[in-house]
Chain A
Amino acid sequence: MDEIHVKAGRPSPVRSDHPGDPWSYRNLIWTFAQREMKARFKGTALGWVWSLVIPIATLVIYSLVFSFIMRMSPPDFGNGKAGIYFVWLFCGLTAWSFFANSVNAGMSGLLGVGALLKKIYFPAYTPVVGTTIATGIQSSIELGVLVALLATFGNVGWTYLLVPVWAAIFFVFCTSIATIVSMYNVYFRDLAHIIGVGLQMLFYLTPIIYPVTFIPEHARGLPLRRLVELSPFSQFIELFRDLIYGLTPGGWKQWLYVLVITGIVASLAVVVVRRRGQDLGEEL
């Protein structure tokens, strides 16, 4: 007979009320990220090339419409050269598409593991974080192309060093929102459709395709430009453009603002995970 290798340890509840921190589930989160990356373009002839074709196609469409038809003129490069709309737009679109993709992929990612969550326990946020990481990796490829493009125009500066810091904060921000939305989407399936419309509205309310100076200061007694500027999405995208296009480090108020907002959203995500994310096995 084999040796008895089961040791009597400390008896513990099968499920604690605490869902467990992401670090202790890093292995699982990474596995979900890999699964997402492998599954995303599996069976397509071009595979990962699609992850670049789609953003570039979007970029070309917007550039055609806004720079040729609407004749939008972008701010100058940080190195003083005359701005190019298509490059300027690329900066905003890269940041925005990471946000939009992580929310959408988070929702479908959580629903996709539904069958699994009914059979075995693991924290419901792990697949959401996993898909956001996968989205992040896809976005970093875009970012690489963007940096290469900016480098060909000679627009490189020390502020590039702040981009990873910005990216880390933005990642936490997007992951938190994706987590909140994905969990509630399990309870109210309409949310996915509402979010679809909401994202589109938000896209046009954020200075991505136009500079923030395009917005009238006041409209119908409302300080419209101020309101748009106060949106965390505007702040994140403006800050990113400052770093990578304008080559300025951004004001400390801007940094503080995005940090505080991210802190609030992340705390909210923790509350939602604890209150709503524990019994998804019954709801899915």
Chain B
Amino acid sequence: MKVTGTTEPLEPKDVAISVRDLGKMFQLARDKRTSLKERLVRGRSAKHDDFWALRGVSFDVERGTTFGLIGHNGSGKSTLLKILAGVYRQTEGSIVADGRVSALLELGAGFHGDLTGRENIYLNASILGLSRRQIDEKIDEIIDFSGIGDFIDVPVKVYSSGMYVRLGFSIAVTVDPEILIVDEIIAVGDEEFQRKCFDHLYKLRQRGTTIVLVTHSLSLAAELCDQAIWLDHGVVKGIGDVRDVVDAYLGDVNANELARKPLEPEPLEVTGVPKSPRRGSGEVRVDELRILAGRAESDELVLADAPCTVRIEYTAKADVLAEFGLAFIHESGVTVAGPNTTAGKFGLIQLDAGSGVIEYHLDSLPLHPGQYTISAAIVAHGHIYDYLDRAFDLLVRAESTVQEPGMVTFAGTWRHNGVVVKTALDHGADVNADS
């Protein structure tokens, strides 16, 4: 993988933002002396813990590109964003921007509840550096874009949260920034407004606006950004093409989740003890259901697009004919698939008294990442021997972001003028093969 901890310097003329060896230290006073009396009485020497929220961060953002910041909570993304916006000053290093920076951190934070929407537009836009004349020219566009209509002359304290956000976004994007810094904003507003935002961001990109964006939605990052940086505890873990960075980050998240799991008191298997009361006459019983994911046996996480086997161990009290069935149920309650031995032309299986094993194998698990439950049933001609409704958890994770909507991946291929189009899925497969 091309993800490394350092940047290759780009051509200077293409760079809109250049960050070198950036560091930000906060002093975490153990007990903060904010009161004057304490300062006077106990002196200045409160115990400080130096905390480096960022250290040694270097990267360049090319003009006209969209740059994503990803990382878990507390990784330093927001601190970096605030330094980029000029709200914080760095402790060390340099940060140089070429062009007017407009920051959009937490929409509508600067609104004054008692003033009307129109008055707040003047206030916020002049903070963003517009003159009164410029605002006069833009104000209709801003009001129009926000879709607030007649409410514009009403104090903003009566606005709904959606209106608040829409007005804030409208102001920030209509001031025509050269460099736009955006903090996790797209997740707000209704569907229609979100689309408008995306359209507008797209237009800004077309015009050559450089955008720096923080988001927790990795698929959004992959969709919007060209390049990305992955921060972990204030240091750069990866930088480069957004897909590589996101994949590397996801790999790390998966590894962490796996590493954490064994600490839980419950048995390690996905499976094992059924959760819900079972039904059925009990001549045949499921003893255990295991999911064998591609690489190691008893992986609790199953990777999408990787081989997967569901193994049922059963005990029959007598010789019976039976049919086995499984159901894969998505967290939303939808049954995604329900394979069974009858539909597979397998027919009823002759079971001898004693225990046995039956397996259902998939070469490539077509489920998208998410939480699923599995039901298992052993039946015969409508008679239920054993039925375990949603008794087993199945956690599907991906090593790269899923580029398609929905719950399942079809094993289809695209052809363009007769030539097979290589898709992102193939790219993902390559990455897997490499590692």
A residues lining the B interface (CB < 8 Å) = 1-6, 8-15, 17, 27-28, 31-32, 34-35, 38-39, 42-43, 113, 115-122, 187-191, 194, 278-279, 281-282
Contact = CB atoms under 8 A, between A and B. Distances in A.
Interface in B189-224: 203, 206-210
A117 B109 CA distance: 9
Contacts of B94: 13
Interface string B88-117: 110000111111010101100110101100
B98 A190 contact: no
24 contacts: A1-B206, A3-B207, A4-B207, A4-B208, A5-B207, A6-B210, A11-B15, A11-B18, A11-B96, A14-B83, A15-B86, A27-B132, A28-B127, A42-B114, A116-B110, A116-B127, A119-B109, A119-B110, A120-B103, A120-B128, A188-B34, A188-B39, A191-B36, A282-B88
Nearest to B26: A282
Given A5-B207, A13-B94, A13-B97, 8 more contacts: A4-B208, A12-B96, A35-B123, A115-B109, A119-B105, A120-B85, A189-B35, A194-B36
Interface string B228-260: 000000000000000000000000000000000
Interface of B: 13, 15, 18, 26, 34-37, 39, 63-64, 82-89, 94-99, 101, 103, 105-106, 109-110, 112, 114-115, 119, 122-123, 126-128, 130-132, 155, 178, 203, 206-210
B119 A38 contact: yes
Nearest to A191: B36
A227 B210 CA distance: 61
Contacts of A32: 123
Contacts, number: 124
B32 to A, nearest CB: 10
A4 B16 CA distance: 14
A2 B203 contact: yes
B126 to A, nearest CB: 4
Main secondary structure of the interface of A (DSSP, over half): loop
B106 A12 contact: no
Interface centre among B64, B84, B207 (most CB of A within 10 A): B207
Contact of B35 (A17, A119, A188): A188
A120 B87 contact: yes
A278 B63 contact: no
A281 B109 CA distance: 13
Nearest to B103: A120
Contacts of A11: 15, 18, 96-98
Nearest 5 CB-CB pairings of A with B: A121-B86, A116-B110, A11-B98, A188-B36, A31-B126
Given A11-B18, A117-B87, A120-B87, A6 B97 contact: no
A13 B39 contact: no
A12 B18 CA distance: 10
Contacts of A191: 36
Given A15-B89, A187-B34, A188-B35, A120 B105 contact: yes
Contacts of A120: 85-87, 103, 105, 110, 127-128
Nearest to A4: B208
B95 A38 contact: no
A284 to B, nearest CB: 10
Contacts of A17: 89
A119 B207 contact: no
B97 A14 contact: yes
A3 B206 CA distance: 9
Contacts of A121: 85-87, 103
A27 B131 contact: yes
Contacts of B95: 13-14
Contacts of B83: 14
A14 B210 CA distance: 15
Given A11-B98, A43-B114, A189 B34 contact: yes
Contacts of B106: 119
A122 B36 contact: no
Interface centre among A2, A28, A38, A119 (most CB of B within 10 A): A119
B110 A39 contact: no
A187 B15 CA distance: 38
